[in-house]
Amino acid sequence: MRVLQKGRTAIFLSFLTIFLSCSSESINQDLELNKATVSVNLIGAQAEFDLVNIEVLDVQVKVIDDESVPNCWLSLNVNSKGIYNLLDLIDDSEANLVNSLKIPAGEIFEVKLVLGDNNTIVIDGKTLPLVMNSEHAKGLVVRTEKDLKSNTDYSFSINFDVKKSILKTNIKDRIILSPVLSVSLQTLSNGI
């Protein structure tokens, strides 16, 4: 009788192990199916300066349209942090900041470009710091209500209007960076 009971226990445990492993594989597949793939490119524009350098730290998307919710912003973990000359990012030479990152599918409300403090402009060979207003210290936000479908590839383009973003002042060598951005979204493929 004990041998029979041990046999039943072994069969039950084997069945349970197979069931649980199938369930975890199924859950992982469901999680993968509920993701969209995003890439983000930064595009500059021509302007009458020698260089316009900005320091890119992060790109984030707002996934909950309520600032009081702690995790309303999702970082896209920029793979190419660093300093970019916006005047070089024209004519199909955009900077790829995020490359094929899987994020949860669903609605996004805003895109935020987070800059560092190492922003400079070169005018007639002279390098000057670009001063940002305090309102831009937490990032440059563009409203863009988009619904990202699962199993679909998207490409965001952040367009930086250089001419409108650079403000000269009456104070010698004081140039203000007041970024003017737009965001466009392209659906690259739908795997369904």
Which tens digits make up the pLDDT trace of 45-83? Answer: 999 999 999 999 999 999 999 988 989 999 998 988 999
Q: Do 150 and 123 lie in a common domain? A: yes
Q: Do 114 and 159 lie in a common domain? A: yes
Tens of pLDDT, residues 144-171: 889 999 999 999 999 999 999 999 888 8
> What's the pTM?
0.78
Q: Do 80 and 160 lie in a common domain? A: yes
Q: What is residue 11's three-state secondary structure?
A: helix
Q: Do 90 and 23 lie in a common domain? A: no
- What is the structure's pLDDT at 188? 85
For residues 95, 117, 110, 70, the Cα torsion angle rounded to the nearest 10 degrees is: 130
Rounded Cα distance between 96 and 158, Å, is: 10
Q: Which of 25-29, 95-99, 137-141 has the lowest mean pLDDT?
A: 25-29
In the predicted model, is pLDDT for residue 20 greater than 80?
no
- What is the structure's pLDDT at 67? 86
In the predicted model, is pLDDT for residue 189 greater than 80?
no
List, as own/partner pairs, every contact residues 163-166 make where C-beta atoms lie below 8 angstroms and the sequence separation is at least 24, other chains included. Answer: 163/45, 163/47, 166/47, 166/49, 166/52, 166/121, 166/130
Going by C-alpha positions, the residue among 120, 124, 121, 132 that lies closest to residue 180 is 132
Q: Do 8 and 55 lie in a common domain? A: no
Tokens (6 digits) for 54:
């900005």
- What is the structure's pLDDT at 137? 65
Range of the domain at 18: 1-33
Q: Do 180 and 113 lie in a common domain? A: yes
- What is the structure's pLDDT at 29? 45
Mean pLDDT of 8-15: 50
- What is the structure's pLDDT at 24? 43
Going by C-alpha positions, the residue among 123, 51, 56, 116 that lies closest to residue 87 is 51
Going by C-alpha positions, the residue among 44, 179, 59, 177 that lies closest to residue 114 is 59
- Work out the angle at residue 183's Cα, subtended by the Cα atoms of residues 76 and 79, and round it to the nearest 5 degrees: 25
Q: How many domains does the chain have?
A: 2
Q: Do 92 and 22 lie in a common domain? A: no
Stronger pLDDT, 74 or 20, i.e. the higher one: 74
- What is the structure's pLDDT at 92? 78
Helix (H) or strand (E) holding 29: helix 2-33
Tens of pLDDT, residues 106-151: 999 999 999 999 999 999 999 999 998 777 666 788 988 899 999 9
In the predicted model, is pLDDT for residue 192 greater than 80?
no
